[in-house]
Structure 1
């Protein structure tokens, strides 16, 4: 019998994945990129999130599902894991979009079902741009992390966009926590905003040249996030 538990839940989608799969039939470069994504989604990321025994992760096609129990204590861990994954994928040219909520879900092995899954899926569609947004329920849990004392550095991981949506800011400072690459990968993803922006600049520039308006708009949004962060750093120096 399905036994729901209250969990923090994330639904992530990799943009442009279908086109990559189609091109992989006759393009070595596309196959290599596809292999890289599968390695991250099916091996590296699951190793990272299961280290503490708190999180669960599933991958199929262009979708990654992540959940963590007892959100009143570990919600920030889900934000960290999802943020690390999105940063890592962007460093390899993959833009991600998704949604985070908290609610009842059954997540055991390959089986994932429940209201939280449906809500997170709907949030992913609402996100529009390559961003992972949080709904009101998720934001309540996020805010409880900072009820007492001075907010820790990771309070800046969540940012409010111009349309009012709250999302994980990939271009802010991610130092002060152990990085995903410290455990499971050879690649080093800079935690500092300026260095990360430099690392992903070529991928963003390529995306902005797309002849498909909807695709180009998504990469333009990413460019605006990276550029804004770089200008803020420059003005503070």
Structure 2
């Protein structure tokens, strides 16, 4: 769904001050992403004695908050924004109204951009994406879709990846069919879940690729004595190797390989 007319920021809201406890509460059908920043707790502990880590943590959450605020509050007269985001410590919720696969695609692209930037900071994300009944207004979010997204994040994803509910497989396929073949969008995990392809932007940038490889190798060395954390970074290493192989395969087929494009752009129609 394209945006028409002049863009503007939506009017400020104060849900707490304007709340009417006699009004009925209605769920909306929304696409929701719930994710956590892995390594956050340990980084916070270490930040007590290291101001550089405190700076990294603040930059990370500020970057998301600034990006999310700008994105969800941008609207036009024809298309008022009903997007929402909430953040508490290392837990983040983003939701968009859902009418079809384009809305799922838009949410996934927005989340992937943040996921891509965070991994280079050493703060990979783990999360779940689904669609369902949800109330989400400013910092308040609850509903069956919230429960399902949290379940996907906490019980199914396990590794530093953002997975998409299997009930949305048809939507993922529909969205992918509207993209040029060289666009990276999602990959299918070993457990059958689609997951965001957040490493693709680094593959064809030699300088960034080398930086990421060094970081991954350092993390594996750093956590070599912690089996739980080590497994996550070993998975990340395997996912990175797979992303490089997939990019080479696209090049062999003659595609002009590119990483994910800006979430505002939407699917490209051939």
TM-score normalised to structure 1 length: 0.82
SS in 1 for 2:131: strand
Unmatched segments (≥5 aa) in structure 2 = 1-23, 76-80, 253-270
1:119 to 131, 148, 154: 148
Residue 50 of structure 1, CA deviation: 3.6
SS in 2 for 1:163: coil
CA contact (8 A) 2:166 2:193 kept: no
CA contact (8 A) 1:14 1:96 kept: yes
Counterpart position of 1:68 = 96
Unmatched segments (≥5 aa) in structure 1 = 173-190
Deviating runs (4+, > 6 A) in structure 1?
Answer: none
| Partner Cα distance (1:75, 1:165) in 2 | 15
1:131 to 147, 155, 161: 161
CA contact (8 A) 2:161 2:195 kept: yes
Alignment of 1:150-165 (within 5 A): 151-153=179-181, 156-165=184-193
CA pair 153-107 structure 1, distance change in 2 beyond 3 A: farther
2:68 to 45, 54, 57: 45
Counterpart position of 2:110 = 81
Counterpart position of 2:50 = 27
CA pair 71-161 structure 1, distance change in 2 beyond 3 A: same
SS in 2 for 1:164: coil
Which is greater in Rg?
A: 2
| Partner Cα distance (2:181, 2:42) in 1 | 38
The two structures, once aligned, show a CA RMSD in angstroms of 2.2
| Partner Cα distance (2:144, 2:183) in 1 | 27
Residue 7 of structure 1, CA deviation: 0.5
Q: Deviations over 1:26-60 (max 9, x none)?
A: 11222121111221232233323443535211111
TM-score normalised to structure 2 length: 0.73
| Partner Cα distance (2:67, 2:158) in 1 | 27
1:97 to 108, 123, 126: 126
CA contact (8 A) 1:4 1:104 kept: yes
